[in-house]
Structure 1
Amino acid sequence: TYVIPGERFPRRAQTSDPATRDVRDFPYTSTRPEDSDLNCIGDLFSDEKNAGRKRAFDIRTVMTSLIDADHQPLERWSGMRDADTVLVWDAHIGGYPVAMLGIESRPIPRHGFVPGDGPEQWTAGTLFPMSAKKAARAINSASGNRPLVVLANLSGFDGSPESLRNLELEYGAEIGRAITNFKGPIIFCVVSRYHGGAFVVFSKALNEKLEVVAVEGSYASVIGGVPAAAVIFAREVDARVKADARMKDLQEQLARAQGAQKGTLLIRLNEVTAMVHSEKVGEVASEFDHIHNVQRAQRVGSIDQVIPPATLRPYLIEALERGIQRELQG
């Protein structure tokens, strides 16, 4: 991070790690039994093994696959309590010193006392109050010194009473302020999903130097498919539930039933209603996600480029070069 007097950025370091390296071949290891079929980073971007980009994964491994193999990263604020869902590294990509911010993409256990009105664990892809504070601090610390690279699988901010009580909204606003005031190149890379309040605070409307890129197969929208189905399209879901053949059949049986049989059918109707409702929410969510993909986000200007996973590291290096050159000329 040292900048020689009279220069704008820390000097580029020498690296033998090829700029064109394909990160898909980088090995992926996990102690979680459900990850036994994930062998390399490419599996995270695979439609066969990660359809819908909904699987949990270790963001550290993805970050390691992108940085220069011959330069060890330095983790900042690793011991910051309750800020586990954000990782901050000082690292090199293509020899360029960068501040790298990753959003943890797997659930993390909480330690100590857990309030009854808060989450039982730190959920994947979510910013909680202290992790939002950590992110804002990282962005501010890099401003005017080195470029910022953000790897995002981000569904937004936690809305539990505990988080709101602990200044979630205020720290979220601090991220927006940090992006607005940031001096230097910012590359925001969507590696999986990008929804909710994150769509607002990491926005090109706040900083014209923000370059947003998404890996093919990712999803980007102000709201995710499941919340959209449950809130915005609730009437559509209810209509599909009522039109379902299983519901109609049970309701016809209930209309003809008498006595104890009617009570049994009522219980059965409640069970089937819950099951069918869950199915229809999934259907509407899937339709929403297929419409609100990264290609649509690119068409409306929220994303600059959609790239194949094989070109992720080369693209980031080129983006850094463009951003640094633009900063030096402007």
Structure 2
Amino acid sequence: MKKIGFLSFGHWSPAAGSQTRSAADALLQSIDLAVAAEELGADGAYFRVHHFARQLASPFPLLAAVGARTSRIEIGTAVVDMRYENPLYMAEDAGAADLISGGRLQLGLSRGSPEQVIDGWRHFGYAPAQGETDADMARRHAEVFLEVIRDQGFAQPNPRPMFPNPPGLLRLEPRSEGLRDRIWWGAATNATAEWAARLGMNLQSSTLKFDESGKPFHIQQAEQIQAYRDAWTAAGHQRLPRVSVSRSIFALMDDRDRAYFGRNRQSSDQFGAIEPGQQAVFGRSYAAEPDVLVEELAKDEAIQAADTLLLTVPNQLGVDYNVHVIEAILTHVAPALGWR
């Protein structure tokens, strides 16, 4: 059995052919897709966060709205760029969204990807400390966030408060029980995967990672997952960790599918620079008839190693088409692989 969800970047554009023409469309259609995915039996509705772009940005209003409209499906991010975040304010938002959803929040964090503007986080009021990189700053913000969502209080109460305080140091409110175990880190390297394991975060691995060996993407990703699990065991955590991978997978069921994605039949890994001086490997897309997909996905070592698969969806093709994409995988591919 494997949990299967969708991952939306929430692109919107007024270009011809787009079914998602405004920010309002992107948000409202994201809610509708999550509701429909739950009805199909999917396990998760996840959203990517990008700033200064025509994509989904502030995640917590959307997550709260999805949580209020659904009852079972996991709701999450993959990922929130921690270079831009105030960890304490984020802890309050996350606690509220988790309580609204009844404890279904799966919050993915990361350093983030190259952005639309130069040092965009500076516009949000953040800058690396002396000797830090922006990636160091993101991990520092994440560590603060993990600390303040624990049960322990840390703030000295005012001796003359407006309202009565409970005894002892005060914590942030609202706090949601169990949220600390549902924080994930999106790792692009083996080292950051091991760091996430030591801190007790679950692992999210995307459709790209930094190239560390020249091997095919799915093998490098499987090795990253194993390094993460080894580090988790060495850290002595008591619970089992979760691991998700993302993939672009399209079952070619009809002429629409073949028109949109038939050209991806021969897709392969790509190696290239995602930022100056850093080689990355981008995983292939999968597009084929269901029986061929079953054979190809069975050979993907990282998918086999993960407990959760996130299907990236082309959200600008509209809710109805994306429901079709998800349903095809759940109905015609997942059962043959033993995932359902």
Structure 1 and Structure 2 fold alike (TM over 0.5): no
TM-score with structure 2 length normalisation? 0.29
TM-score of the two chains, using structure 1 as the length reference: 0.30
Question: Which of structures 1 and 2 has the larger relative contact order (alpha carbons within 8 angstroms, sep 6+)?
Answer: 2
Greater gyration radius:
1
